[in-house]
Structures are given as C-alpha cells and as structure tokens.
C-alpha cells in the first residue's frame, strides 16, 4: 500500500522512566485499556530490531530529527 520509496522504519525508544515522566506531564493519558508504560516498553523491547531505533531519552526534538535524517540520507 506504500507507493513511495525508499521506505524507512524509525522507532522512538526512550527509557521507561522517561516515557513515564513524559506521560505524567501530559494533560491526557496515552495508555488506555489497561496498558502500562512498563508493559508497552516491555513489548517494544521484545520486538525484533529492524530499521533505526532511537533512544531519544536525552535528546531534544531537533537532535532526534537530526539523527533520523542522518540515517535516511
């Protein structure tokens, strides 16, 4: 269904404590239906690596974008 190429897979994978802190700072929750941050991070960590995985825990948005662009160009 994806008609453009090249296709790049990018996974943002911050540390669990960073995800939890970001989630707590939000006005709404992104984890409904019984999911927890630890559960989702556990699932993510069990996923086979493909593409670019970025631990953006300590990065600004600009730094994350720069890392992605360096990978895809």
Residue 24 domain boundaries:
10-72
> Residue 67 has what pLDDT?
97
Q: In the chain, how many domains are there?
A: 1
Share above pLDDT 70 across residues of the chain, in percent, rounded to a whole number: 95
In a domain, 4, yes or no: no
Domain assignment present for 2: no
Let me know if residue 47 belongs to a domain: yes
What is the mean predicted confidence (pLDDT) over 32-40?
Answer: 81
In a domain, 1, yes or no: no
Residue 5 lies in a domain: no
Distance (Å, whole) CA 34 – CA 9: 27
Q: Which residues pair with 12 in a beta bridge?
A: 54
pLDDT higher than 80, residue 55: yes
Measured distance CA(73)–CA(71) in Å, rounded? 6
Predicted pLDDT at 47 = 93
Burial of 19: CB neighbours in 10 Å, binned 0-12, 13-18, 19+? buried
- pTM over cut 0.75: yes
């Amino acid at each position: 269904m994806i008609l453009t190429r090249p296709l790049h897979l990018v996974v943002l994978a911050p540390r669990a404590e960073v995800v939890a802190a970001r989630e707590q700072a939000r006005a709404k929750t992104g984890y409904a239906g019984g999911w927890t941050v630890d559960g989702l991070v556990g699932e993510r960590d069990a996923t086979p690596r493909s593409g670019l995985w970025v631990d953006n825990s300590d990065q600004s948005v600009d730094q994350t974008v720069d890392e992605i662009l360096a990978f895809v160009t």
